[in-house]
Amino acid sequence: MYREDIEKIEPVNEGLRLSAKDGRTATLFFAMFDRLKQASPEQRLDFRMSFGGLRWDSLDEDISYDSIFEPENFPLRLSIALRPINMSEVARRLGIQQSLMAAYMNGSKHPSPERQKMICDEIHKIGRELLEV
């Protein structure tokens, strides 16, 4: 399903109701997505329609139209089980600055052997968490 298939989006109690041009309707419940659940009412309504789904820039959240209209085809909701996985999340989990992690990634700084081991251990931990989902 794509942007042009959506006719209307309206706020409803604890979610957004989407109406498709083919007559189908579906509700996205904020409680199903950790970032939306924790967001303020203003943040929840500060979304935009992208090509294939809804985008909350301030929350860094994307939800596809397909997963809203056909949730049975998307049984694993990793957004509930795990936070998004990127180097910023690794930095957060390690308690270090995201800018420092970015410097490690682009090669402008080099982690000590101890810090390098901490980073690798955390990435392996994330991998184990993914395997458990």
The domains of the chain are located at 3-76, 82-132
Question: Which helix (H) or strand (E) is 27 found in, with range?
Answer: strand 25-29
67 pLDDT higher than 50: yes
pLDDT value at residue 80: 45
Most confident of 6-10, 63-67, 68-72, 83-87: 6-10
Domain 3-76 falls in which CATH fold?
NE0471 N-terminal domain-like (3.30.2020)
Mean pLDDT across 56-82: 77
Joined tokens for residue 76: 């694993």
pLDDT value at residue 109: 92
Distance of CA 114 to the CA centre of its chain: 30
46 pLDDT higher than 90: yes
pLDDT band at 32 (very low <50, low <70, confident <90, very high): confident
CA R_g for the chain: 18
Q: What is the dihedral of CA 108, 111, 112, 115, to 10 degrees?
A: 170
Q: Could you give the 3-state DSSP secondary structure of residue 75?
A: coil
10 pLDDT higher than 70: yes
pLDDT band at 133 (very low <50, low <70, confident <90, very high): low
